[in-house]
Structure 1
Amino acid sequence: MTILHIDSSILSGYSASRTLSAQIVARQQALRPGSKVIYRDLAADGTSQLTGEHIAVLQGGTPATPVLGADLEIGGAYIDDLFAADIIVIGAPMYNFSVPTQLKAWIDRVCVAGRTFQYTAAGPEGLLPKGKRAFIASARGGVYSGDSPAASMDHQESYLTGVLGFMGVTDVSVVRAEGLNMGEEVKAAALAKAATQIEALAA
């Protein structure tokens, strides 16, 4: 059993999403002793933004520089991670109603036609092996779930579940802590609720 653990928050030890993603991974390891963990910290050691030079190489060109070649290798490794993983855990804070740019850069490297998805006469088809399970550790300063007036501004959880489904990962669970900037009492309650949700996860 292989667990892919991805963090994207820029807040290091102050990050709620990092705390939640670590708790989810620990719970999965407890449920599956001996599991291997692949860890990617996109804020500390991510990849560059996608450019025209990247696309040219992906379409058969030659890397213009060693730096570009090394960066493309990282993108290839990200795809290998996804194929190897049985469980995917993504720490994803909401930044300005969407995901961090570091996480978006990762998405741009793993959503590759012919590798992780393809277009068919019937529409797009995910190419990742069936049976993978994903968890999104979502952290938000405000409240965007349910009937919140701000629900239409959620381009974070909806985006990530859509991207994963596009590649073929449809078993996606969201562990959410929101309202984190609405006072210490609200924050503590939100984190406690998320921790309880994590402890209740079954194999």
Structure 2
Amino acid sequence: MTTLLQLNSSIFSSGGQSTQLADQFVTAWQANEPDAQVIVRDLAHDAIPHLDAQRVLAFFAQPETRTPEQQAYVAESDALIEEIKQAQIIVIGLPMYNFGIPSTLKAYFDQIARAGVTFRYTENGPEGLLTGKKVYVFAARGGIYAGTPLDSQTNYVRDFLGFLGMDNTEFVYAEGLNMGETAKEAALAGAKLRLTALAA
């Protein structure tokens, strides 16, 4: 059975434009995959702890030496990793905040990037272990940034996912959402056309 993992990172949860685009894609995709399992993780509603020194030390400690607190930290990360391991399709709702990704998504990324678990170092360099997945990213932005030096999101997200082995990533942009109602409607309509085609 195919499993799809949807990650919503808008601070407005279901009210965010990126979330709504991701929802529309998943709904259209499910029409062709009625037996698929869909897991939704709302990073605003169920916040993930940001990386700190204690968590890093827990990740690097030998399992038999971990304290109960360290074991709890590792268990939180392990659960997120197991969830994404089981998914063949990853859908990310990605708003742009202050030219970057939401801190909640960065916290999620930091929890799933584990040496020896989701990537490993080899004599030929790092090797991602989360392979064989298709990723769709729905990027909602107030201005126009795609293809410009101010788009810090696209390369970062693609590079991070690729580092973990997820090198098949499709971006769908809805830009200019704060540049007037006409621009907003046109951007959302264009994104909806694209996501519908991708879902088919």
- The TM-score with structure 2 as length reference comes to 0.92
Deviation at 1:75, TM superposition (A): 1.9
3-state SS, counterpart of residue 154 of structure 1? coil
CA distance in 2, matches of 1:34, 1:102: 30
Aligned to 2:77: 75
Residue among 132, 146, 162 paired with 2:159: 162
Deviation at 1:62, TM superposition (A): 2.7
CA distance in 2, matches of 1:135, 1:40: 15
Aligned to 1:23: 24
CA distance in 2, matches of 1:172, 1:127: 16
Aligned to 2:109: 107
Residues 10 and 93 in structure 2, CA contact (< 8 A), matched pair in contact too: yes
> What do the CA deviations read for 1:150-179 (whole angstroms, capped 9, x no partner)?
x11111122111111111111111111011
Deviation at 1:25, TM superposition (A): 1.2
Counting only pairs closer than 5 Å after superposition, residues 86-165 of structure 1 correspond to structure 2 as 86-129=88-131, 131-146=132-147, 151-165=148-162
Aligned to 1:32: 33
Aligned to 2:48: 47
The answer for unaligned runs of 5 or more in structure 1 is none
Aligned to 1:62: 66
3-state SS, counterpart of residue 158 of structure 1? helix
CA distance in 1, matches of 2:13, 2:3: 24
Deviation at 1:202, TM superposition (A): 5.0
CA distance in 1, matches of 2:94, 2:184: 17
Aligned residue pairs total 196
Deviation at 1:73, TM superposition (A): 2.5
3-state SS, counterpart of residue 45 of structure 1? coil
Aligned to 1:14: 15
Residues 142 and 176 in structure 2, CA contact (< 8 A), matched pair in contact too: yes
Aligned to 2:176: 179
CA distance in 1, matches of 2:26, 2:97: 23
CA distance in 1, matches of 2:73, 2:96: 26
The verdict on how the C-alpha distance between 1:72 and 1:47 changes in structure 2, with shifts beyond 3 A counting, is farther
Deviation at 1:88, TM superposition (A): 0.2
More off after superposition, 114-123 vs 54-63: 54-63
Q: What percent of counterpart residues are identical?
A: 44
CA distance in 2, matches of 1:169, 1:27: 23
Deviation at 1:74, TM superposition (A): 2.5
